[in-house]
Every structure is written in structure tokens, then in C-alpha cells.
Amino acid sequence: MQLLASRADTCPQKGLSLSASEPVELRAGPRLSRRRAVLFALLTTLLVLGGLEFGLRIIGVQGAPDRTTTWFPDHILNPPFVNVDAGDSAAGAWVRAGQSHHFRPFAPGDQPNSFRIAVFGGSAAHGYGVLEPAAFPHRVEQLLQEAVTDKEIQVINFGTVAWSSQQLLWASRQIWDLGSWDLIIIYAGHNELLELSSWKTYMSASEHRRYTRALLWNQRLEALRLFQVGRKLLGRDREAQLLERALQQAAVDAAVADENLQGGLDPVGRIPAQQLDQLRAIPAEQRARIGPLERRYAARTYRHNVGKILDQARAHGTPLLVINPAPSDFHDPISFPYPGEEGARFAKLLDAGEDLMNNSDWEGMERNAMEVLASHQDARAMYMLAQSFQYRNRFAEARDWYIKARAWTEYPNRVVPEVSEAIASFAGLDGVLAYIDGEALFRARHPDGFIEYQLVYDHCHPSVEGNYVLAGEVVRRILGAQLESLSSANELDVDSWVDRGRSAITERRAGDPRLWEWDGRDYSGDNVVYIADFQGDWRNIRDAQEQALAVDNPSAMDWLWAGNGRFFDYELPAALQAWEQALTIDPGLCLAFANKSWALRMVGRRVEALRYARAALSCAPDNLEYQDFVALLEAWLAPRPQ
């Protein structure tokens, strides 16, 4: 009380004042704990960044564009389905769809009484090794058309060799300009490792790991505008840096042969991703190898890109059907050598596998494989181990090791287990009509659960029989979904159709001249040979057809075959002329009428197609196919009740 009184005596009436000589104790305010200070700083930073992000979006800064690279530049720079050919007055307008003799033209815009399906994928969907009629999209069209007769089923094959989900996303953004779509089928997954496999030819292992991780981070952050601005201001793409480095050394390297390229093993030869054809390949034993990081990138990339395709499809009210592609268990894997004396010893162990197999030394194969696997996850060793188990009837173990060999192989065109899981993750999502496990579908056809060449004729491409099996399951799922637009569908015995088709195509001993059944394979030898699409086989077929017309008095069948070849070579007017010339020589060649009808139907000219279908039927009244052609076209052209 005395202290308070003495201080009060010094206070004027309007306030309190202390004497200058009296010490004043200054007390600090309450301090934030370290934890709260950090949280406050983080919150402030997030608010600032959020404000900047919001501002960038307001002023129109876009997120990252879709990542699209290519390993065959002409595929992406000259896509096969955006070229709209007006043709001439005899051919009409049509869209050129289909790559490399997989011509499936269709009329632009929406057509009445039709159900249109787009098929996206790589070479497996494309039908590598055969012409379009033997590919699975055409088989889907055939079977679904048997069930639905009041609408034209149009299954447009946009499958393109070497395309991964990156290119599928790029392409899917453009199809809506061509008309509406009732269903999109995605049969892809084999090529998700192509980009990384291409780059590891030219990057050290450490560079490749950093590059792959950078791609993953770019994928996570691509939607952020701040990230895009930062990349433009502070960094450059790794591809640009490598290209600059390559160009600087181009003068030195141009005259030097690249002895590090592995003939038949490097997936892209002299044209890697982004056309960096001046880069020098790294010696095989020093390269990065496909492992969990790369497979994780492949799976995430598929899920990321196909997720965007699903978003587009949902926005247009179009369902999606996704298929996990089937590999072959028995296509030899690839592994690069290891350095030093140890690498030489491992190579000797692996190279001995063939002799051990020829001598039925299954235990020796297992012993050699296990010795390599004790040090390295080697695909060749895994494959050898799988073979040793299979020949001793240990089928479950053999299947497991075949799958592991596929996961670790350096050959990039394989669907690895992680990508298969990513594909399966779309099952049951809103907008997904169905998910088909093609691998399980094919394994169920073998008594021991293997996928043999009977259904997949090389590492990833379905055989002509495999395409029947796949198409049957696709149609089963489509009809099972009970789409309102297909409410008129009749019941089908899908299994019988598949079995009949497989039997018919395996019994063929010559090429089928029916335009809708010609598979293009070579029947001249003891074994039927698939077309090597980009090794000149198709060009040889076409040259032989045209040379047959250059002789004196070519036959009507020569002209018919030339018409077929011209059609699948995108030469529709010339094909129509060839079939007409065949009829001039032989008016009784009924198939020329039918082929012409089928081609005209493809481009939407139903009235003319019906006229030629009737001519074919008049020429061969007992032909059931011609009867169906006429009935279908009449149904599609019939006026619909209002």
C-alpha cells in the first residue's frame, strides 16, 4: 500500500508518470513455442504460395501439358486418324483410320443407326503381323454385329505400333472432333517402359535413376502453376540438356561408329526418344537396368494418363473398357552383361543353358540359374530356372519364374506386373464399363496355366486365334452391361463363335480373298508366316499384286487381289476401280461385288453398298454371307418410327 501511495503522489490527474530516476521493468509478451513458430511459418508460407497459385490460375497460366514422347517420330507427327480424305466424287468423304495396312475408314460425323467404338492401344491392339480383318477390333465388330442387326457396329482401330499411354492420351483428345463415340476400348500396357528403355541406352545408371525420379516428381506436380513457372524460370528439361551436349560433340562423333549399340537388343537403334541420334550409347555392362523404380514409373504413368482419358470419356458420357494385355511366357528375355571377371563367369553359366537343356540336365539348369541369381536379378537366369521347373512338371513354380523374368527383362515391350495392377485398379470406377484381365483369360485356356505361341505368337502380339478369344470376351462384357443403345441385341453363343473362328483360321491353307477376312499372312510354305509390318513384307505383297497386272491379260482374280491390296493401302478409289475391272473381265466373279459393297459400307455409303450387296447375292443366291449383307444394309436404311 505504501508503494502504491508513493507512486500515486507523482501522478498528475490526467495519467500516471514515473520519475526519470526510477528504473522501469520491461516485460516481454508471451513467446511462441518452437513447434508453434514452425507451424506459423509453414502456414504463412502455404498462404503465400496458395495466393500465388490462385493468382496464376486467375491470369490464365496453365498447368503442364500432357507429356508425350515418341520413339517412332512418324507415328505421333503424322497420326493415322486425323487425316480426312475427301477423295473424289466416286469415293466420297471418309476418315483415314488405321496405321500400316490396318485401314478401317469411316464416315466423318455421326451416322444414323450406328454404334461406334474406338479402340486405342499399341501394336497388340493394332494387330501387328496381320491385316485389319484378323485383328481383334475387327473380330469384335463381326461378333457384336451378329447380336445387333438394327445398327451398324463400327469398331475403329486406332492402335499404333509403339504407342504407350502417353500417346493414347494425346490421341484421345482429338477423336471427339470426328463425331461421338459409344464406347472406348483401351488395350495397352506393353509399352510403358519404352521411354526409359530408350534413355538407358544413352544414360549412365545414376543419370537414369535421377531422370526417372524427376519424371515421377514432374508427374505429381504437373497441375501446379507455380511448378510450371519455376521450371520455365529456373530449369530446363533433361532432354534439352542432353540434346545440347550431343550437338556439341556431333562433329567429333559423326564419323565414329557406335560399337556400344546392341544389335537386336537396343529398342530404338539410332533413333532414341526425342530423336537424339547424335548421342553415344553407353557400354551394355555399364547401363541402367529395369528395376522397381522404372516399373513404378511405368505403372504410375499408365494410371495417370488413362485416368485423364477416363475423365474425358466421362465428360462425353462415353464408357471405357480396359484390358490388361497378355504376354507370352515363352519368349526369351534379355539381360545385359555384367562387368569384369565375374560378369564373364555369369555369361558362361547362362550360355551353358542351351546345352544343359539339350542334355535334359534340369538340375544343372537350376544350379547355374541360382548361382547367377544369388548376385543379380537377371532375367535370363530367371527364365532358365522357370524352364528347369517346367520340364520337371513343377508348373506353379515355373509360372512364377516366367513372370519374374518378364518383370526384369531389358526388352521393353512387355506388360510388367506393376502395370497390370495399375490397369486392374480401374475396375469398378465410375465410367468404366468393364475390366478384362487378358492374361488370366489366356492362361485359363491352357491346362497348366501357361500362355503359349498358339494365342500370343511372339512376346506380346495376339495370334489370329488369340484375337478371336479376346474379341469373344470383349463382346461378352459389352452385351452383359446391357447398354440401352444395344437393347435390341440378340443372345449369342460366344464360345461357339470363338471355337468356329479359331478352327476355320487354323485350317486355312491359302490367303482368303474376301476383303473382310484377308489376314495377309504368307501361306506359301509349310508354316503360315505373320507379316513383319516394318520390315517390308507389306510392300512386297503390294508390289507383287501390281506386277501381276503388268503382264498381258491379267486375270479377274489378279484385279480382285489388287483391289484388296489397294484398299488396305488407303487407295479407296483405285480399289473400287480394280474390282470393277475384275467384273469387266469376269461378270460372274461374285466376290468382286461383295468386296466393293463392304468397302463402300465402311465409308458410310450404305445405298451404294446395298446395291452391290444385292448384285453379289443375285450372282450367288445361296451365299449366306451375302444374304446377311443385304439384310443388314436394308435394316440400317429402313426409316425409323417417329
pLDDT at 12 (0 to 100): 45
Rounded Cα distance, 301 and 220, in Å: 10
Structural domain contains residue 215: yes
Q: Are residues 186 and 200 in the same domain?
A: no
Lookup result for grid cell 508460407: 45
Least confident among 45-59, 421-435, 485-499, 536-550: 45-59
Q: Which residue has the cell 495397352?
A: 188
The number of C-alpha atoms within 13 Å of 302 and in the hemisphere containing its C-beta is 33
DSSP assignments along 17-66, one per residue:
---TTS-----PPPPPPHHHHHHHHHHHHHHHHHHHHHHHHHTT---PPP
Q: Looking at 519, 544, 575, which one is the last position of a domain?
A: 519
Mean pLDDT of the chain: 84
State yes or no: pLDDT of 246 exceeds 60: no
For the ranges 245-249, 496-500, 531-535, the maximum mean pLDDT occurs at 496-500
Distances (CA, A) of 625 to 64, 145, 155, 496, 595: 52, 13, 19, 18, 12
Query: Which whole number is the average pLDDT over 433-442?
Result: 98
In a domain, 247, yes or no: yes
CATH of the domain at 125: 3.40.50.1110
**Residue 592, pLDDT above cutoff 80:** yes
Predicted local confidence at residue 6, as pLDDT? 44
Q: Please indicate whether residue 514 or residue 161 has the higher confidence score (pLDDT).
A: 514
Distances (CA, A) of 178 to 188, 240, 416, 570: 22, 34, 34, 18
Q: pLDDT confidence of 74, banded at 50, 70, 90?
A: very low
What is the reported pLDDT for 241? 55
Closest CA to 567 of 542, 587, 590, 589: 542
Nearest alpha-carbon partner for 195 in 336, 290, 284 = 290
pLDDT value at 317 more than 60? yes
Which residues constitute the domain of residue 564?
556-637
pLDDT of 392 over the 90 cut: yes
* Residues 235 and 349 occupy one common structural domain: no
The CATH number covering residue 371 comes to 1.25.40.10
pLDDT at 413: 77
Mean pLDDT of 492-508: 97
Phi and psi angles of residue 178, each rounded to the nearest 5 degrees, phi first: -95, 0
pLDDT band with cut points at 50, 70 and 90 for residue 258 = low
Residue scoring higher pLDDT (254 or 47): 47
Position 22 pLDDT exceeds 70 = no
pLDDT band at 77 (very low <50, low <70, confident <90, very high): very low
| pLDDT at res. 259 | 55
Residues 278, 202 within the same domain:
yes
CA distance 114 to 550: 41
Q: How far is CA 347 from CA 200, 341, 353, 476, in A?
A: 21, 10, 10, 48
Q: Contact 438/416 with Cβ under 8 angstroms?
A: no
Q: Is residue 277 part of a domain?
A: yes
Assess whether pLDDT exceeds 90 at residue 248. Answer: no
Choose one of 359, 376, 408: the last residue of a domain: 408
506 lies in some domain: yes
pLDDT grade, residue 626 (50/70/90)?
A: very high
DSSP three-state, residue 455: coil
Q: Is 2 a domain residue?
A: no
Neighbours of 485 (CB within 10 A): 12
Tell me: do 432 and 507 sit in the same domain.
yes
* Confidence at residue 346, expressed as pLDDT on a 0 to 100 scale: 96
Residues 455 and 494 in one domain: yes
Nearest-angstrom CA–CA distance, 515 and 527: 23
pLDDT classification of 272: cutoffs 50, 70, 90: very low
* Secondary structure (DSSP) of 321-341: EEEE----TTS-------SHH
Of 471, 495, 519, the last residue of a domain is 519
Q: Is the pLDDT of residue 261 over 70?
A: no
In the predicted model, what is the mean pLDDT of residues 598-616?
96
Using pLDDT thresholds of 50, 70 and 90, give the confidence band for residue 58.
Answer: confident
What pLDDT score does 179 carry?
82
Judge if 183 and 222 occupy the same domain.
no
Asked whether residue 625 is domain-assigned, the answer is: yes
Q: What is the pLDDT of residue 72?
A: 47
* C-alpha of 139 from chain center: 19
Q: What is the largest CA-CA distance in the chain?
A: 136
Residue 282 above 50 pLDDT?
A: yes
Both 173 and 201 in one domain: the answer is: no
Q: What's the pLDDT tens digit per position in 448-494?
A: 999 999 999 988 899 999 999 999 999 999 999 999 999 999 999 99
> Does residue 451 belong to any structural domain of this protein?
yes
Q: Mean pLDDT throughout 556-577?
A: 95
Q: Is the pLDDT of residue 304 over 50?
A: yes
Positive or negative, the Cα torsion across 308, 311, 316, 322? positive
pLDDT value at residue 167: 85
Residue 41 pLDDT level (bands cut at 50, 70, 90): confident
- What is the share, in percent, of the chain residues with pLDDT greater than 90? 57
Q: How far apart (Å, rounded) are the C-alpha atoms in residues 394 and 399?
A: 9
User: Do both 139 and 199 map to the same domain?
Assistant: no
| Amino acid letter for position 547 | Q
| Residue 400 near residue 390, CB atoms below 8 Å | no
For residue 35, is pLDDT > 50? yes
Confidence check: pLDDT of 362 > 90 = yes
More confident residue, 67 or 11: 67
Residue 26: the pLDDT is 53
Please give the angle made by the CA atoms of 229, 231 and 232, to the nearest 5 degrees: 65
> Residue 490 carries which DSSP code?
P
Question: DSSP of 517-573, one letter per residue?
Answer: T----B-SSSS-B---TTTTHHHHHHHHHHHHHSSSS--HHHHHHHHHHHHHTT-HH
Asked, for residue 608, whether it belongs to a domain, the answer is yes
Q: Cα dihedral sign for 450, 455, 458, 459? A: negative
Check whether residue 353 and residue 490 sit in a common domain.
Answer: no
Residues 466 and 504 in one domain: yes
Reported confidence tier of residue 88, pLDDT bands at 50, 70, 90: very low
Both 120 and 255 in one domain: the answer is no
- Written as nine digits, the cell of 64 is 503442364
Whole-number percent of the chain with pLDDT over 70: 80
Structural domains counted in the chain: 4
Does residue 514 have a pLDDT over 50?
yes
Same domain for 308 and 432:
yes
